Amino acid sequence: MIKVFDRKLIFEDGSEYYGCSFGASGDRVLEIVFNTSIAGYQEILSDPSYTDQAVVMTYPLMGNYGMAADDYESLLPSIGALIVHEYNDLPSNFRSEESLGDAMVRFNIAGISGVDTRKLNRLIRDTGSQKVLITGADVPLEEGLRKLKETAIPHDAVSRVSTGKIYEVNPSGKYHVVAIDCGMKRNIVRSLAARDCHVTVVPWNTSFDSIMNFRPDGVFISNGPGDPEDVPATIETVRKMIGKVPIFGICLGHQIISLAYGARTYKLKFGHRGGNHPVKNLATGKIEITSQNHSYAVDEESLKGTHLKATHVNLLDNTVEGAESVSDRVFSVQYHPESAPGPEDSGYLFDKFLNILKEG
């Protein structure tokens, strides 16, 4: 089969990378990032935290086991594009219900294959995540650079991926948890429901009074896309809840909680995205292998003077991976203990939250 290089990436420095199109058509201006996971492309494709991003998969082969309905992390994936070295359009898996490319067409997600993804990975590591244009191979460079310059990455990603209505999961559960959906993965809700929690999922901008009217045993703040400072309403709601109800946050939720306490966040050069990040639990000294997907981190120095203290640290770059206020019954982590597929080292964090709820 002859490969037709009919699509390309244009970077802001004028460099171009050609490849073969799969998935949906059309031009896209996105933030380009990379993920080092070997498996789990369906969960990555459907993770709302990748909204408006083009994800380079550094493992060479993608699509080989197809797509299964039960494995989506959101029902309406919002990732911008998937960039792979080799795309397999003939999956071999008894659970597969459609190919990766067909799913991407259905959800209007662009794809490029045949690209040297390891080279792109090194480029992003050296220069940082940045804007990129995905367009046709015949588009003149000058035209592409102009479009790239004129198009900004939106700052309303959370509002676009959060639920539009309140809904309940496992209403017979013993412990009532209100989950603030900032782009929440489905396996988070499953993890809470599996621990006898009745989960009420609410939109990202639900008010403090509305949440407290549910009389929850605890509140969960979810993962989600973009800069945590783009959701000041959620930060203010969390600030009002501190000390009044147990709170657990993951990823963006970790950043929101830290900002609510008065700490600061900053953007990492190229973020953390993969299924093998080593994180040290400072209380036990144990090392957890974790799944991660985020562009921002909490400034460790800024935690001083707040009621939060760092509980976990990333061993690759010493960034803060967890924070806690024991007296307020609040804790959070930057990584994903619900990872699916992925390491299961951190599932105990859901049990920790449950134990706090049991204590009343």
Angle subtended at Cα 235 by Cα 240 and Cα 219, rounded to the nearest 5 degrees: 65
Q: Quick check: helix, strand or coil at residue 187?
A: helix
CB 221 within 8 A of CB 180: yes
Task: Respond yes or no: is residue 85 known to be catalytic.
Answer: no
How distant, in Å, are the alpha carbons of 263, 266, 318, 359 from that of 299? 7, 7, 11, 31
Q: How far apart, in whole angstroms, are the C-alpha atoms of residue 272 and residue 195?
A: 28
Structure tokens at 290: 């974790």
Counts for the chain of helices (H) and strands (E), in that order: 10, 19
H helix intervals, the chain: 41-45, 100-106, 117-127, 141-150, 157-161, 186-193, 208-212, 232-241, 252-260, 348-359
Task: Respond yes or no: is residue 155 known to be catalytic.
Answer: no
CB 234 within 8 A of CB 256: yes
Q: Which of 197, 251, 277, 312 is catalytic?
A: 251
Q: How far apart, in whole angstroms, are the C-alpha atoms of residue 162 and residue 145?
A: 32
User: How far separated are the first and last CA of the chain, in Å rounded?
Assistant: 64
Task: Respond yes or no: is residue 251 known to be catalytic.
Answer: yes
Q: Which residues, at least 6 apart from 359, have a Cβ–Cβ distance to it below 8 Å?
A: none
Which DSSP string corresponds to 203-235? ETT--HHHHHTT--SEEEE---SS-GGG-HHHH
Mind telling me the catalytic residues? Answer: 251, 336, 338
